[in-house]
């Protein structure tokens, strides 16, 4: 993951999903996004290494993918 990819994940992809009003969205997505943002901001302030950000973002990226799949399923199976 590049810094640009991490920034997009945190400021766009995960943010938009976390704000969706859907029962299938993981309710902890925003809390995990905030935790990853804190580490990302520390990296920007040179208080940690970029590799410290990656574990947070790998987990968050997987959750984003799963939640997107759940939203697609919800839309396809809406009554």
| Among 52, 44, 56, 45, residue whose Cα is nearest residue 14 | 56
pLDDT along the chain (79 residues), means of 10: 95 88 80 94 97 96 92 83
pLDDT at 52: 96
pLDDT at 20: 80
pLDDT at 17: 86
Contacts of 41 (CB under 8 A, 6+ apart): none
Do residues 42 and 48 make contact, with C-beta atoms less than 8 angstroms apart? yes
pLDDT at 79: 56
Do residues 71 and 20 make contact, with C-beta atoms less than 8 angstroms apart? yes
pTM, entire model: 0.84
């Amino acid at each position: 993951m590049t810094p640009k990819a991490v920034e997009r994940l945190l400021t766009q992809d995960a943010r938009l999903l976390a704000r969706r009003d859907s029962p299938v969205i993981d309710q902890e997505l925003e809390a995990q996004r905030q935790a990853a943002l804190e580490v990302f901001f520390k990296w920007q302030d040179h208080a940690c290494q970029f590799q410290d950000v990656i574990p947070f973002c790998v987990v968050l990226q997987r959750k984003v993918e799963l939640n997107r799949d759940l939203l697609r399923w919800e839309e396809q199976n809406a009554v």
